[in-house]
A = this chain, B = another copy of it.
Amino acid sequence: MTYRIAIFGSSGYAGGELIRLVDGHPDLDVAYLGAHTAAGRSLGSVHPHLRDGDRMLGPNDPASSPPIDLAFLALPHGASAEPAMALLDRGTKVVDLGSDFRLDTESRYEEAYGVPHPYPEQLGRWVYGLPELHRDAIATTDRVASPGCYPTSAILPLAPLIARGLIEPTGIVVDSMSGVSGAGRGVSAALQFGAVDESAKAYKVLKHRHQPEMGRALDDVSASPVNLIFTPHLVPMQRGILTTIYASASGDVTGDDVATALDDAYSDEPFVAIVEGSPETRWVVGSNRALISVHFDGRSGTAVLVSAIDNLIKGASGQAVQAANIMLGLAETAGLPMEGWMP
């Protein structure tokens, strides 16, 4: 059986990757492509790297779509809530790649976004779609809030350690660098080649909305409130996130304890691997894999964790397909690349 898929917000980078992944998926078919300003244009004019360029993009309106089994929403912040509600009403499963339903309480949402949520009763009803943590809940829901790219890179290394009480939940430093595609395909002076190439910068220092998302997801597994500082950096590459995390070990926890906990947590996971040395983003770009390395400073009792993902795949479209696979009862790895590309 093949499931029919709609992709809303198909003109952006995450949308393009969703099309590519669904086109190559043995059990999914693209039934509808929605877009905002690109509605009415051909796929080939929007994504010239994708085949069947004659396919047309329609509006980002569920009413324009033929009946589908599942919809991916790759829309700007704030634009997901309305179509999500309409789709759920029609009995369509929804995987939202946006941030509208990632936080679980009205207060967290207002703190992060400064405005009330339009559907506050929905908060807490959506499953946070990190399969490695919430596989069972994903399998039985019709609505998944797919995690952000930076949170994915931070939660995977941290959650098992916090859950087991191996590191202190406070004073954690999450220092990330991302390729430019993480900022989306919108046009701006700050994202011109002339402004990005051969430069590195921090941005939104102490103000990035992924920090509360990390806090929420880690609080879920923690005995006491998690407190962390997150700094994102932009570096001149297209894809990939490298995250370096600093956390204080609890009591007399050793480096071996930390390494063992992560090995235990992920040894059966198809998409997560603990590596010797430390990972490079090129090792994962193009695949749905997350690589993690563990380091320990015995003098200060500090665990240093390094993780690498492709922000558009494990950090966005691949992870969304992974959740969809689970929701639809398919093999979790179906259609998802295990191998990236180098060079």
Report A's interface with B, CB cutoff 8 A: 13, 16-17, 20, 23-24, 47-51, 170-171, 173, 175, 177, 179-181, 185, 187-189, 191-203, 205-206, 227, 229, 231, 233, 235-240, 242, 244, 246, 248, 278-287, 293, 295-297, 299-300, 302, 304, 306, 308, 338-343
CA distance A295 to B185 in the complex (A): 29
- Contact residue among B180, B200, B281, B286 (Cβ-Cβ distance under 8 Å from A177): B200
Contact (A306, B180) CB under 8 Å given A173-B246, A280-B199: no
Checking B187, B194, B206, B278 against A185 with a beta-carbon cut-off of 8 angstroms, the contacting residue is: B194
Contact A194 to B235, CB < 8 A, known contacts A205-B304, A206-B304, A240-B200 = no
Contacts A200-B235, A299-B227 known; A187 to B192 CB distance under 8 Å?
yes
Residues of B contacting A192 in the complex (Cβ-Cβ under 8 angstroms)? 185, 187, 191-193
Q: B238 near A201 (CB under 8 angstroms)?
A: no
Decide: B306 and A51 in contact? CB cutoff 8 A.
Answer: no
Q: What B residues does A306 contact at CB under 8 A?
A: 202, 205
Could you jot down 16 A-B contacts, CB within 8 Å? A13-B342, A20-B341, A49-B283, A49-B339, A170-B300, A175-B246, A177-B200, A180-B194, A187-B189, A197-B236, A197-B343, A200-B240, A205-B304, A206-B297, A229-B246, A341-B341
Q: Is the CB of B237 within 8 A of A199?
A: yes
B-chain residues with CB within 8 Å of residue A206 when the two chains form the complex? 295-297, 304
Contact call B49/A16, Cβ cutoff below 8 A: no
Q: Which of A51, A180, A199, A231 has the most CB of B within 10 A?
A: A199
Chain B proximity of A136: nearest CB distance (Å): 26
A278 in contact with B343 given A197-B197, A286-B49 (CB within 8 Å): no
Contact of A238 with B197 in the complex, beta carbons under 8 Å: yes
Interface contact B49-A341, CB-CB below 8 Å: yes
Chain B min CB distance to A228 (Å) = 9
Contact B295 A339 (CB under 8 A): no
Q: Do A198 and B240 have beta carbons less than 8 Å apart? A: yes
The answer to whether B235 touches A236 (Cβ under 8 A) is: yes
| Inter-chain contact A281/B199, CB cutoff 8 Å | yes
List, in ascending order, chain B residues with CB within 8 A of A175's CB: 173, 175, 231, 244, 246
B239 near A198 (CB under 8 angstroms)? yes
Q: Which residues of B contact A181 (CB under 8 A)?
A: 194, 343
Known: A191-B194, A238-B194, A302-B229. A200 touches B281 (CB 8 A): yes
Residues of B within 8 A of A339 (CB): 20, 23-24, 49-51
Task: Let me know if B343 and A195 touch, CB within 8 A.
Answer: yes
Chain B residues lying within 8 Å of A197, measured Cβ to Cβ, are 180, 193, 197, 236-238, 343
20 new A-B contacts, CB < 8 A, other than A49-B283, A198-B240, are: A49-B284, A49-B342, A51-B339, A175-B246, A177-B235, A179-B200, A193-B193, A197-B236, A197-B343, A198-B237, A199-B285, A200-B237, A203-B278, A205-B295, A227-B299, A229-B302, A231-B244, A235-B236, A239-B343, A286-B341
